[in-house]
Amino acid sequence: MNEILRLETISKAYTSGAGRRVQVLDAADLCVNAGEIVGLVAPSGAGKSTLLHIAGLLDNADSGRVYISGVDTSQQSDRRRTATRRNDIGFVYQFHHLLPEFSALENLMLPQMANGRSKATAEARATELLASVGLEARGHHRPAEMSGGEQQRVAFCRAMANAPKLLIADEPTGNLDPETAERVFVTLVKLVRETGLAAVIATHNHELAARMDRQLSLSGGKLIPL
């Protein structure tokens, strides 16, 4: 088994403005292998986004450890962890967050060039990625010139642009009508399967979650199988 993500006894609490302490995660454990898609289905406020932010190295846990490909990121410097996040983790959110003034191709080239790829190499990969989601004809369109489903497929490609090992997706189809959500979800699964990524996908959609390899929920701050 090629373990990509391991969370060990992750705890996180927030203190509200009124001084009330909310223990969102309480010694949560998770292990995801390469090629595995894990669905995270839990009620609103259960802590899905908090967990994904910690797993994606966007936020720190109060205690516990996050391993990416066996490396304990809790022991890394901030700089090193930022590099791990940029190189090894791709993110998809409910809203596409593409840069509005740039074309689809440019949106896929920029993160690669920021990681040191040449313009020509970045463009070749961007073109290949767009073709893999059936959007070869949309490369020169800006986000506003594409449908919601197309925008989200470009966002998936952007998450894959730097060939990450781990994909973190927070409600990736939450903003789409059911039919488009279905089509976009199929594309996401195809991309993940082709690349052998490990993926953690939070969704409110039980039907989509049922088609992932494993489904987990959050209860009392812990991850439990569904």
Ligand X SMILES: Nc1ncnc2c1ncn2[C@@H]1O[C@H](COP(=O)(O)OP(=O)(O)OP(=O)(O)O)[C@@H](O)[C@H]1O
Binding site for ligand X (CB under 6 A): 14, 16, 22, 24, 42, 44-50
Give me the least distance between CB of 224 and ligand X, in Å please: 14
DSSP three-state, residue 59: coil
In the bound state with ligand X, the residue whose beta carbon lies nearer, of 45 and 178, is 45
Select 24 or 169, whichever has its Cβ closest to ligand X: 24
With respect to ligand X, which residue has the nearer C-beta, 106 or 171? 171
Residue with Cβ nearer ligand X (45 or 196): 45
Shortest spacing between CB 223 and ligand X, in angstroms: 12
Classify the phi-psi angles of 55: left when phi > 0, otherwise alpha if psi is within -120 to 50, otherwise beta: alpha
The CA-atom distances, in angstroms, between 87 and each of 1, 80, 99, 180 are 21, 11, 20, 30
Distance of CA 149 to the CA centre of its chain: 17
Beta-ladder partners of 8 = 65
Shortest separation between residue 5's beta carbon and ligand X, angstroms: 17
Q: How far is the CB of 124 from ligand X (least distance, A)?
A: 37
Cβ closest to ligand X, residue 20 vs residue 79: 20
Nearest distance from C-beta of residue 200 to ligand X, angstroms: 13
Which stretches within the chain are classed as H helix?
48-55, 78-88, 104-114, 119-132, 148-160, 178-195, 206-209
SS3 content of the chain, % helix, strand, coil (to 5): 40, 25, 35
